[in-house]
Amino acid sequence: MIDDGFAELIGGKRQGVLVTLRADGRPQLSNVMYGWDPQAQIIRVSTTDDRAKTRNLRRDPRASFYVTSGDYWSYAVVDGHAELSAVAADPHDAVVNELAGLYRAARGEHPDWDDFRAAMVRDRRLVVRLHAERAYGLARR
């Protein structure tokens, strides 16, 4: 279970950095929008099937996630293992429903949900689910 101070910091933001491992072991960092599920302790990120982060996670599911406070002095790093959803195949499949929920959590309502759903399939989007195993950093209370 992630400490409350870190969970509060993670839950209060929508932008962070996903860190995956390249084939040579060096980190690959991606700025992302995300959603935090405090009950399941999962960070969710929307990405496309052709991204480096997706290839990296298919090869090695270990990942870290970094988020900082607005003043930059508080931060949290979450380590865990990522699970990748299937690629969106139909505008009304479970993956697109999860992507719509993620969009709502991060940005609110979309002006055209039909267009959003079609774009998720067209872009070959999927969900990265980072299962939080531990967190460290500096979280002010």
Q: Token pair for residue 43?
A: 């960070």
For residue range 79-126, what is the model confidence (pLDDT) as tens digits? Answer: 999 999 999 999 999 999 999 999 998 889 999 999 999 999 999 999
Tens digits of residue pLDDT in 40-78: 999 999 999 999 999 999 999 999 999 999 888 999 999
Q: What is the CATH number of domain 4-138?
A: 2.30.110.10
Instruction: Report CA torsion sign: 3, 4, 9, 12.
Output: positive
Copy the structure tokens of residue 80: 């865990």
The count of residues in the chain is: 141
Position 141 scores a pLDDT of 57
Q: How far is Cα 109 from Cα 81, in angstroms, rounded to an integer?
A: 30
* Amino acid 140: pLDDT: 75
Report the SS3 class of residue 14: coil
Write out the two tokens for 50: 């052709």
Amino acid symbol at 3: D
Alpha-carbon gap, residue 81 to 66, rounded angstroms: 14
Radius of gyration of the chain (CA): 15
